Amino acid sequence: MNVLMHICCGPCSITPLERLGEQGHKLTGFFYNPNIHPYREWRLRADTLEALAGQQNLDVVFEKEYDLEGFLEKTLPLSRSRERCRQCYRMRLERSARFAAETHADAFTSTLLVSPYQQHDVIREEAEALSSLYGVPFLYQDFRPGFRAGMARAKALGLYMQPYCGCIFSERERFQKRRPGREDSSVP
């Protein structure tokens, strides 16, 4: 089956690439992540994926547009809510489902499904709704059991390993927790 795989970053793609490859699927990667902030981080992740794709002989389509404004427009009103993640998933998965339909892929999936830190039920719910809308099956697999092994392989390959999910909100949450005495999220 020809599967379009939305890829959030190189390290997270290792386990899904292995598992789906073992199952005989022909994969095409798709990098569309307007949530990643700042631009330098977005560029690092794209470059890391490009390097890994070369090593793995994986075709990857890189969405050239860095639509931070579009992401913020949709998520800023939800910045203090877990609904912002749903909106972020929807935005990325919708572009992936549309691209899968445009390229006549047999199915689409996402490397977001490897992370134990993501909301799998929400990802699956959004992707299945988009599957119906765009007429391309969503290939759900729980890649989480391979998360640690994939991260160890990424480290061994010398890939850039990001310290947060990617968005400005998760960056704030991640680094605020590291500052002693800064438990109140209203304090910069």
| Cα distance between residue 87 and residue 14, in whole Å | 25
Q: What is the pLDDT of residue 178?
A: 56
Percent of the chain with pLDDT over 90: 74
**What's 2-176's CATH class?**
alpha beta
Strand partners, 26: 2
State the chain's mean pLDDT as an integer.
Answer: 90
Given pLDDT bands bounded at 50, 70 and 90, which one contains residue 186? Answer: very low
Q: What is the pLDDT of residue 124?
A: 98
Is pLDDT at 48 greater than 90 in this prediction? yes
Asked whether 10 and 52 are in contact (CB, 8 A), the reply is yes
Taking the domains of the chain in order of start, what are their residue ranges? 2-176
Given pLDDT bands bounded at 50, 70 and 90, which one contains residue 185? Answer: very low
Whole-prediction pTM: 0.89
- Name which residue leads in pLDDT, 1 or 65: 1
**Averaged pLDDT for residues 61-82:** 84
